[in-house]
Amino acid sequence: MDDTKLKALMASVQCGSFSKAAEQLDYSQSGLTHMMDKLEAELGCTLLERGYQGVKLSPQGKQLYPLIEQIVSASNALYAAVAQINDEVPQQIKIGAFSSVSRTILPGILSKFKQAYPNINVDVLVVGRDLNRKLLNGEVQLAFMDNYSAQGFDWLPLCKSKLVAVLPKDNPRDPSVPVTLDELLSETFISCPEQYVEFFLPEGESEKRLLIDASDDATIISMIASGLGVSVLSELSLQGYEQSVKVVPLDKEVNCVMGAATKSLKNASPAVKTFVSFLKKISI
């Protein structure tokens, strides 16, 4: 039996009313009343007498109350023991991330996380297009990926990164004038299979295409810097490479949303759940 109802019963008896107990437990009064109704239905007896002056234990409730106290006490002891074990035994998380994430936002996240949870060890695997497969088969327990790659997983959005056109430094185009995707596709367009920009390319795309079997955006940037073509990348990928290439805005704003994905948060380990909860609290 879920001890939540038993704890709510004890609070109701100690407070002498549902309204005070609900306020203490941060429930609605109707929700607490419904919870007590379900508890009595499960046990098949009346535990509380309810009246205008509040609530008190029924004769049956008085007989059962010592047992309820024992159950709640044992439950609290169990959770305390588990917490102590978790503190003593190092927990482990293996995280997968694209290289653009591992060199930009991830170091700051891990630094804050290690300060808050020094007993949880984190391994980072820098992965390219195999990240989905590694998360699916359990090689990593959590993966930082964009919203397109995360389809089918439990996913927590963290930050947005605008997509921009990336051209060689000596390209004559004015960087202040937005460029269309059609204009980019008229030149040699560099991308890699399963990259998020593939979702934006029209059907029957330009034959001027250079597909790179690469695991990170740095290879594409290097190709562009050498004058081999143009591409569309997220601003996040370009951090640290701004001087190597020319960055031009797209005529229509498109954002890549980066987040943290798990195969199933419900079935994740306590360490992974702790990490996801931590991500929800910080600003990136």
- Quote the CA–CA distance of 195 and 215 in Å, as a whole number: 10
The angle subtended at Cα 195 by Cα 151 and Cα 172, nearest 5°, is 140
- Provide the mean pLDDT of the chain: 86
Domains in the chain with CATH codes: 3-88 (1.10.10.10), 91-158+258-281 (3.40.190.10), 162-255 (3.40.190.10)
- As beta bridge partners, residue 245 has 168
Model pLDDT, residue 99: 82
Tell me the C-alpha distance between 66 and 77, whole Å.
16
Determine the Cα angle at 54 with ends 47 and 37, to 5°.
35
pLDDT digits (tens, 9 = 90+) for 22-70: 898 888 989 989 999 999 999 999 999 998 888 999 999 999 999 999 9
> Which uninterrupted H or E stretch holds 147?
none
The per-residue pLDDT for range 67-82, each reduced to its tens digit, is 999 999 998 888 888 7
User: How confident is the model at residue 119, as a pLDDT?
Assistant: 84
CB atoms within 10 A of CB 27: 17
Structure pTM? 0.62
Asked if the model's pLDDT at residue 284 lies above 80, the reply is no
Contact (Cβ atoms closer than 8 angstroms) between residue 98 and residue 131 = yes
At 207, the pLDDT band (50, 70, 90 cuts) reads: low
